[in-house]
Amino acid sequence: MRYSRQRHLVKDVLQKSHQHLSADQIFRMVKDTDPNISIATVYRNLNQLVEIGEIVKLNVPDAAGYYDGNNHPHFHMQCEQCGGILDIPGGILPDIKQLVAKATKFEVSESLLFFKGTCEVCLNQVTTGSSSMHSAGEENV
């Protein structure tokens, strides 16, 4: 695939944000750098980046698709209070693919594990009675 300045912008915005962003959020951020870019171009480039493995598309239950600039294998969790999507730090979970493959003789090609609950910031707001909100998608881990 040949170099595309617009694809590079899309990937750069996603990776530098260190957050899990929707296509619309990425579009707004890329538009700051390239005011002539269209939402269709952003979607096309996101799809191409996913296809070649440069980024990951998250299929978040009950939500629009989000994209992750971290293409290394890892799992995610979502706060039910603020909607933020967070990475589960590597090394916390055992190699689930290997455990499943060993126990079932099933050749696992991909594993998608997604936790839901309440993030640390939202838990602290409940225990302290604080009403200050943090923005959804803000990295808490």
What gap in Å lies between CA 79 and CA 121, rounded to an integer? 10
Between 19 and 62, where is the model more confident? 19
Helix spans in the chain (H): 5-17, 23-33, 39-51, 96-104, 120-128
Which domains are present in the chain? Answer: 1-71 (1.10.10.10), 73-141 (3.30.1490.190)
Once rounded to an integer, what is the mean pLDDT over residues 7-33? 95
Q: What is the pLDDT of residues 85-108, one digit of tens each?
A: 999 887 788 888 889 999 999 998
pLDDT, residue 135, reads 53
Which of 9, 28, 7, 5 lies closest to 137 in space, CA to CA? 28
Q: What is the pLDDT of residues 28-83, one digit of tens each?
A: 999 999 999 999 999 999 999 999 999 999 988 777 789 999 988 888 999 999 98
Residue 30 vs residues 75, 91, 92, 106, 119: alpha-carbon distances, Å: 26, 33, 34, 41, 28
Count of alpha carbons within 13 angstroms of residue 123, beta-carbon side: 6
